[in-house]
Amino acid sequence: GESVGLHLPTLSVQEGDNSIINCAYSNSASDYFIWYKQESGKGPQFIIDIRSNMDKRQGQRVTVLLNKTVKHLSLQIAATQPGDSAVYFCAEILNTDKLIFGTGTRLQVFP
Amino acid sequence: DARVTQTPRDKVTEMGQEVTMRCQPILGHNTVFWYRQTMMQGLELLAYFRNRAPLDDSGMPKDRFSAEMPDATLATLKIQPSEPRDSAVYFCASGLGQGRSTFGSGTRLTVV
């Protein structure tokens, strides 16, 4: 069933294009960040993480960039596919196990 | 693949009734989290446990919500009495600490 809101920021991209999803985090002392993907009716799924001593980390088709100066995180998805359609959340952690989630961005991929 | 199992998948109940949601964390994971997701508030942390001990339940309304881990294979979240504003999707997640957790598929609760 639906698990996300109707008023999320939405990014629409054409299949095959690159996607960039942005996130502003709140605490300058946060030392660990994660991107999650949530498909309709499912729980959030881990995509990629990055620690505050790094500014870039690459995975398979995904890259996370961290700019601590402006407290900004981005997720880049190369060659976006229909299966990438979902809501994407960034989350920050400060010293503990607690994830603080952002509001999310809906990615729509059209043919 | 190891999974976090949540039951029930869907629950419809009348206002005032007790609701119990269950979670089986991944074997070997020592941290368990309960989150609530609504359209208005997004994903909110309600409570979490490490090695079955409650560490933080500051996000949970104490008067009606309670979270427990009777053993390492079961976490429960109870609401008594339930209210319409409790309608949401409740997620359980488990992990080995440092935030990288695996989420279950959630329990969609509707209180009428």
For A28-84, what is each residue's pLDDT tens digit? 889 899 999 999 999 999 999 999 999 999 999 999 999 999 999 999 999 999 999
Average pLDDT score over residue span B64-72: 96
Q: Is the pLDDT of residue B22 over 80?
A: yes
Q: How far apart are CA A44 and CA A86, in angstroms?
A: 10
Q: Is the pLDDT of residue A18 over 70?
A: yes
- Comparing A103 with A13, which gets the higher pLDDT? A13
Cα distances (Å, whole numbers) of residue A20 to A73, A75, A77, A89, A106: 10, 6, 6, 13, 12
Taking CA atoms, what residue in B is nearest to A43?
B105
B56 touches A: beta carbon within 8 Å: yes
Cβ distance A46 to B100 less than 8 Å, yes or no, reads yes
